[in-house]
A and B are shown apart, each in its own frame.
Chain A
């Protein structure tokens, strides 16, 4: 299963975090700092999977943004690697210029993620279906 998902900038600051396994709120910042440090310090030649404590990290970089996913030992790393890309493509479809737009619309990114992953498992991968609730929400907001 997926334990958490982080979107982090190049300076290592968490811009978005989603936890699917119980982690005490006070413990989250230090976990995030540690995880992010591990991923950001990796060299180009190193693979995208990091062994961390008793689980694994999958990370991908998109321009100035890092997406880090913590997964359990039994999860398929290559599959999660694909999932991250799928997620970014959905963001791309909704926002035209992803990185700056995200900062102003973090709540929407959360909504998108909730349509893709729920309690640590994939719930939908079809891009149109993922975006449907958000588009409906946008329509409702416009109407007001």
Chain B
């Protein structure tokens, strides 16, 4: 991946001032109803960056009220031209571009993200997603339908209403924009709960939302914890839809809460244990590199991490050798420092969980090829770790690690590897490396995964839908498909004196 300190990007801001630490409702900044605040940490140093107002149920209630008000028939947001919604989204994209350096610095510091990636990739992805969704706003078309009878029938594709959106900490900016852009494009209003580990860039974006000119109440952001603020959203009787990205464990809780409360619509983007299958006829160098990036990118903290690597027997040893060599090329350290290309894990909980799984790998008999423990005196660092001779029944082969730990397994036959790849409750993504046309089409058809990459990995784009099979999630985000999740279809049937085709 990109190493920091590229000559053509500016240095991160020093002495970054965190301006926005409150709850954002109705385009205004509020203290928490309870008076409580919570600390926000820098995972590379374990130091507190600042304190942020801690939202709970009462704050969520305020935000939902504001969002509901902004959604009323006759409101500025509901009566606005769709093309004007588009213009506001484009404006937000422009403001994010303007504040690229600030946002990249803040994201790198708060989320432990390599600065050059944050600057070049994360911020750019946000801008493109906003521009893509802006383009859809006045193209969300209903149908006129030749229904039976003397009836003029058409559909309206209406916004659903107040959408609760719960965002994770691994890509705070991208995840925020990926949620609000399609929701706003379709005309909804939103109440966002950013992850408690990483609220800062979301709050800065809130200030840009106000600056761009979105009417008050359209976007509301309530930082806080899952069991309090998050639960308040998923069980709220006046939230029409909840969208969640995070662990499968919490996804289940959200779906239950939705069912118990008001049957709000639910979309979930959850965990994965995505298989990468490398056939003997693959371009070996390319497969090694893609598979490596697939599991190590952002310290392994990607829902689509290629965390089960199935390599065909005849190339297995060479593949392991090259993968281990590749995994040793990391400079760990503060992600704001030039030359560093691996940052910390997000927090102590993740750090401990990863180390526990690494230990289980050793205990259950996988071969530790490199790494295998923590790094450094402070910060939540884990050495890049590679296991070979992994068996499918080991914990490291079944559970999502979410850390810089690669599992390499051996396979013989195509039918067998497909079965093994699909033998999981997860189904988020998969990768196939082969030069053979038939294998590419056959295997991609057979894998139970929402995204299948062929001869590449991690390639995302706003135009393509993304989401999970099975317990990796419900629904799809981005692309045209993503709009359906933010639309409520109304059929209108108007009696007429005579129908003509």
Q: Are A and B co-members of a single complex?
A: no
Binding site for A on B (CB under 8 A): none
Binding site for B on A (CB under 8 A): none
